[in-house]
A and B are shown apart, each in its own frame.
Chain A
Amino acid sequence: MDSQPTLPVPISYISGRYLLFSIDAVTYLRREHNICGVLIGTLPQIPQQNVFLGLPLELMPEEARVLVDRDVACIVDEAKAHDGMKSLLEEDRRQYLRELESQGLHASRILSDRKDQQREQALKKLGEKVKAKAAKAADNASASSAQKDESSSVVDIFDDGSNSASRSANMTPESKLAMAITPATSYPPLPQPTSSSRILSKPEVPLSYPLFAHLHSQGYFLSPGLRFGCQYVAYPGDPLRFHSHFLVVSAEWDQNIDLMDIINGGRLGTGVKKGFLLGGPEKTREDVDSEAERVESVRAFSIEWAGM
Chain B
Amino acid sequence: MADADEEAIRATTTEAPQIETDLSDETQDFRLLNHLNFLSDTSSASLPRRGEKDFEPNPTEFQADVLSASRGAMHNALAHPRIHHPKTQVVGIYAPDGPTPPPQAMVDEKGLGVSSDYCVCVPVPKGQYFKTIGQADRWNRVWLLPEEAMYLMERGSLDIKWPRELSGIDADDVNEPLIPMSLQAAYACLLGRSGLTLERYTVFTGLRRLGYAVVRASGWDDNAQAEDSKNEINKHAYTEPQQRGPGLAGIIGRCFAWLDDPFGTSSTAAGPIVGCGIHRNYTDVYRKLATIPWYDPAKAETRDPLDTDAPFRVIFHVYKPSTPIKKSAWPTPDFRIAVVNAREQTSIPTLAQIGALLESTPLDPPRGEKMDRLMYMRLRHGYRNVVLAVVDQGVTSFLRISDAAFGKEKLYENKGPPTGPKRGGNFRPKKR
Contacts and interface: CB of A to CB of B under 8 A. Distances in A.
Judge A-B direct contact (beta carbons within 8 Å).
yes
Interface of A: 1, 12, 14-17, 19, 21, 23, 26-27, 30-31, 37-52, 54-56, 58, 60, 78-79, 81-82, 85-90, 93, 96-97, 100, 103-104, 106-107, 110-111, 114-115, 118-119, 121-122, 125-126, 129, 150, 153-154, 157, 160-161, 164, 167, 174, 177-186, 189, 206, 223-227, 236-238, 240-243, 245
A76 B4 CA distance: 49
Given A38-B395, A180-B159, A185-B183, A164 B9 contact: yes
Interface stretch (B189-197, B214-222, B298-306): B189-197
A243 B209 contact: no
Contacts of B184: 12, 21, 56, 78, 184-186
Nearest to B27: A46
A237 B83 contact: no
B202 interface: yes
Contacts of B392: 224-227
Contacts of B26: 46, 48-49
Contacts, number: 290
Contacts of B329: none
B253 interface: no
Interface string B63-101: 100110011101101111111111101000000000000
Interface residues of B, number: 98
B179 A93 contact: yes
Given A41-B183, A236-B57, A178 B32 contact: no
B294 interface: no
Given A154-B2, A182-B159, A224 B56 contact: no
Contact of A241 (B66, B180, B210): B66
A181 B81 contact: yes
A51 to B, nearest CB: 8
8 contacts: A26-B78, A39-B394, A58-B394, A107-B38, A157-B5, A182-B182, A185-B184, A237-B54
B34 interface: yes
B103 interface: no
Contacts of B124: none
Interface string B1-36: 110011011011100110010010011011011111
A303 B169 CA distance: 63
B156 A44 contact: yes
A90 B177 CA distance: 11
A242 B209 contact: no
Nearest to B16: A111
